[in-house]
């Protein structure tokens, strides 16, 4: 009660009234009635003033601070007012400072928790991905050491399999290296003017056999008015196209449950405006479920969770794509429909055709006379 606004106001009001009346009583000729009136007047005015000041300027705000701190203990951030105005009342300002501080700290804690979870998941994923090829290679080598080396046929087969596992391991480590270098920013982009059509032709050539085996047509659709020259890091964009086109082929499968046209198609096409060229990669594959679409760019994320049916993918391809495109200050977009296919796209600044052609001419080997 004593520390309530009313209690404090009552005590201070009474003291002020007593002091005032005591001083007044020292003045000659003041009647008792005047003293009584002075007492009540000074008491009531002091009480009202002190009560109002304490209640509205101090106690209410202090109580708010307590309530906020209590909520904070329970990790409830609902008290945080996002667009409050700077108050004049200093206690109110302290209150706001506490709110801001609490909000920032809670945000930091949430971020740290997310990062911790991410780190844990990452370590688990990476150990698993490394373990698989190492175990496989180890198994083949030990079998050979245990005597299989004597058998000429088995010797070659096992060595070939061990070699393949180690190649996979090498690829994984390379991918991880690229990702970490991109994250630390130690990879510098080498911008140049070049024709995207040449890059696409090279990538198509690389996947010709894979596509043929799966009866997939690789199509580059270019209209006459399309501008295909871009200004970007050619080598990195080549990597992006390799990942997107290999995915388009890999995830187009003749599946009994999914109605597919007899022959699958992977189409690359362009859209250009005054400043940019957008590159599209479209497939008629199995598509990506909506609940996975936001996560496919995460490291190690795969729609098909079972690693046993691993077809060689580690789930790093799109993470690399995202990093490369972001390093070009752009974004990868994706739209997909399960059973119908996916469309990936990204924008690059338009390149200068003259410079690109000049460079190509310089690179061409001179004809022998
Ligand atoms: N064109 C696509 N159609 C359907 N699903 C896709 C397509 N592209 C990617 N995905 C899904 O997104 C996941 C992540 O793709 P990402 O390229 O990052 O990994 P990956 O292909 O499994 O392995 P990696 O590319 O490292 O060999 C894939 O596992 C697949 O489930
Ligand atoms: Mg991939």
Of 184, 207, 227, the position where a domain reaches its end is 184
How many domains are there within the chain? Answer: 3
- The Cα–Cα gap between 34 and 252 comes to 101
Largest CA distance in the chain: 134
194, 197, 199, 202 alpha-carbon torsion, rounded to 10°? -140
CA distance 295 to 318: 10
* Distance (Å) from CA 316 to ligand 2 centroid: 7
Q: Tell whether 112 is covered by a domain.
A: no
Instruction: Note whether 51 and 171 are same-domain residues.
Output: no
Note whether 243 and 149 are same-domain residues. Answer: no
Final residue belonging to a domain, choices 129, 164, 184: 184
Same domain, 173 and 146: yes
**C-beta of 302 in contact with ligand 1 (< 6 A):** yes
> What are the tokens at 101?
């501080």
Residue 345, number of CB atoms within 10 A of its CB: 18
SS3 state of residue 278: strand
- In a domain, residue 253? The reply is yes
Same domain for 328 and 254?
A: yes
Give residue 245's Cα distance to chain centre. 24
Q: What is the pLDDT of residue 86?
A: 67
In terms of domains, do 43 and 165 share one?
no
- Ligand 1 pocket test: pick from 315, 319, 338, 339 the residue with the most ligand atoms within 8 Å of its Cβ: 315
| Residue-by-residue DSSP string for 26-91 | TSTT--HHHHHHHHHHHHHHHHHHHHHIIIIIIIHHHHHHHHHHHHHHTT--TT--TTPPPPSSHH
State whether the beta carbon of 303 lies less than 6 angstroms from ligand 1.
Answer: yes
Q: Choose one of 243, 247, 306 to mutate for the ligand 1 pocket test, by most ligand atoms within 8 angstroms of C-beta.
A: 247
Residue of minimum CA distance from atom 25 in ligand 1: 317
* Domain CATH number, residue 158: 1.10.287.130
54 CB under 6 A from ligand 1?
no
Single residue among 72, 106, 140 that ends a domain in this structure: 106
Residue nearest to ligand 1 atom 13, measured at CA: 302
Query: Which CATH number fits the domain that encloses residue 355?
Result: 3.30.565.10
Say if residue 76 is in the same domain as residue 47. Answer: yes
Alpha helices in 251-337 (DSSP H): 290-293, 317-327
Tell me if 145 is assigned to some domain: yes
What atom of ligand 1 comes closest to residue 252's alpha carbon? 3
- Residues whose CB is less than 8 angstroms from the CB of residue 323 and which lie 6 or more positions away in sequence, other chains included: 179, 182, 183
Half-sphere exposure (Cβ direction) of 254: Cα atoms closer than 13 Å: 9
Q: Does a structural domain hold residue 369? A: no
Pick the atom of ligand 1 nearest to 285's CA. Answer: 3
Cα–Cα distance for residue pair 172/35, rounded to 1 Å: 95
**What's the CA-to-centroid distance between 356 and ligand 2, angstroms?**
30
Does the Cβ of 247 fall within 6 Å of ligand 1? yes
What's the 305 CA to ligand 1 centre distance in angstroms?
12
Residue 199 Cα, ligand 1 centroid: separation in angstroms? Answer: 21
Task: Kindly give the number of the ligand 1 atom that is closest to the alpha carbon of 304.
Answer: 31
- Identify the residue whose C-alpha is closest to ligand 1 atom 8: 247
Are residues 220 and 351 located together in one domain of the fold?
yes
Q: Check whether residue 58 and residue 89 sit in a common domain.
A: yes
Q: Are residues 356 and 311 in the same domain?
A: yes
pLDDT for 308 equals: 46
Let me know whether 147 and 124 are in one domain.
yes
Q: Which domain holds residue 354?
A: 192-363
Residues 279 and 215 in one domain: yes
Phi and psi angles of residue 311, each rounded to the nearest 5 degrees, phi first? -105, 30
In-domain check, residue 342: yes
- Examine the domain organization and report whether 312 and 218 are in the same domain: yes
* Residue-by-residue pLDDT tens, the chain, 369 positions: 446 788 889 999 999 999 999 999 999 888 999 999 999 999 999 999 999 988 887 888 788 888 877 877 777 766 665 556 666 777 778 778 887 888 888 889 999 999 999 889 888 888 988 998 999 999 999 999 998 888 888 899 999 999 999 998 998 999 898 888 888 887 888 999 999 999 999 999 999 999 999 899 999 999 887 789 999 999 999 999 999 999 999 998 755 545 555 678 999 999 999 999 999 999 999 999 999 999 999 988 888 876 544 455 788 999 999 999 999 999 999 999 998 999 999 999 999 888 888 887 877 665 544
Q: How many residues does the structure list for the chain?
A: 369
């Amino acid at each position: 009660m004593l520390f309530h606004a009313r209690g404090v106001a009552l005590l201070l009001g009474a003291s002020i009234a007593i002091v005032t009346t005591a001083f007044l009583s020292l003045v000659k000729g003041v009647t008792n009635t005047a003293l009584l009136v002075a007492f009540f007047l000074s008491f009531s005015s002091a009480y009202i003033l002190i009560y109002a000041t304490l209640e509205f300027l101090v106690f209410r705000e202090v109580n708010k601070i307590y309530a906020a701190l209590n909520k904070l203990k329970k990790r409830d951030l609902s008290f945080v007012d996002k667009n409050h105005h700077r108050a004049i009342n200093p206690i109110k300002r302290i209150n706001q400072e506490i709110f801001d501080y609490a909000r920032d700290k809670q945000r930091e804690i949430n971020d740290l928790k997310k990062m911790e979870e991410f780190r844990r998941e990452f370590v688990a994923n990476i150990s698993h991905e490394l373990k698989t090829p190492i175990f496989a290679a180890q198994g083949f080598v030990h079998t050979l050491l245990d005597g299989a080396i004597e058998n000429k046929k088995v010797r070659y087969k096992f060595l070939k399999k061990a070699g393949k596992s180690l190649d996979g391991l090498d690829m994984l480590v390379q991918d991880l290296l690229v990702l970490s270098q991109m994250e630390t920013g130690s990879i510098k982009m080498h911008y140049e003017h070049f024709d995207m059509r040449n890059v696409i032709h090279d990538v198509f050539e690389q996947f010709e056999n894979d596509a043929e085996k799966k009866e997939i047509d690789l199509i580059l659709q270019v209209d006459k008015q399309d501008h295909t020259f871009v200004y970007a890091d050619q080598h990195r964009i080549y990597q992006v196209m390799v990942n997107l086109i290999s995915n388009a082929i890999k995830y187009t499968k003749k599946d009994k449950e999914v109605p597919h046209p007899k022959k699958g198609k992977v189409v690359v096409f362009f859209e250009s405006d005054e400043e940019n060229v957008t590159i599209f990669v479209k497939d008629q594959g199995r598509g990506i479920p909506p609940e996975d679409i936001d996560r496919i760019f995460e490291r190690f994320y795969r729609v098909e969770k079972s690693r046993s049916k691993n077809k060689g993918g580690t789930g790093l391809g799109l993470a690399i794509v995202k990093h490369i495109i972001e390093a070009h200050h752009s974004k990868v977009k994706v739209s997909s429909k399960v059973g119908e296919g996916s469309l990936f796209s990204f924008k690059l600044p338009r390149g200068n055709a003259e410079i690109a052609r000049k460079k190509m001419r310089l690179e061409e080997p001179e004809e022998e006379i």
